[in-house]
Amino acid sequence: VYLEAIKRHLLALLDGEDIAQDSNIHHMSHIAANVAIIADCMGLGNLIDDRPQPGPAAKMLAEQDKSK
């Protein structure tokens, strides 16, 4: 949930929008708040990580980087 919110606000920010229409708060503030929530949960050891299992993307990116 929090990573999706970060992504949504980052995309809006990259698209040139500063203020979220639903909250009237800057997108960067939303991003910072969501990162803080994730970091707090990680520190407390109660983060529920519901991301998909790691796929081949990291290995593919590393191999591509070596070929440059």
Question: Cα angle at 40 between 36 and 42, to 5 degrees?
Answer: 120
Q: Using 50, 70 and 90 to split pLDDT, how confident is the model at 17? A: very high
Q: Measured between alpha carbons, how far is 52 from 36 in angstroms, rounded to an integer?
A: 22
pTM: 0.78
- The length of the chain in residues reads 68
Rama region for 16: left / alpha / beta (φ>0; ψ in -120 to 50; rest): left
In this prediction, residues 15-25 reach a mean pLDDT of: 98
pLDDT of 55 reads 87
In this structure, are residues 27 and 10 in contact, taking their beta carbons and an 8 Å threshold? Answer: yes
Q: Measured between alpha carbons, how far is 52 from 63 in angstroms, rounded to an integer?
A: 22
Q: What is the pLDDT of residues 36-59, one digit of tens each?
A: 999 999 999 999 999 888 889 888
pLDDT value at 68 more than 70: no
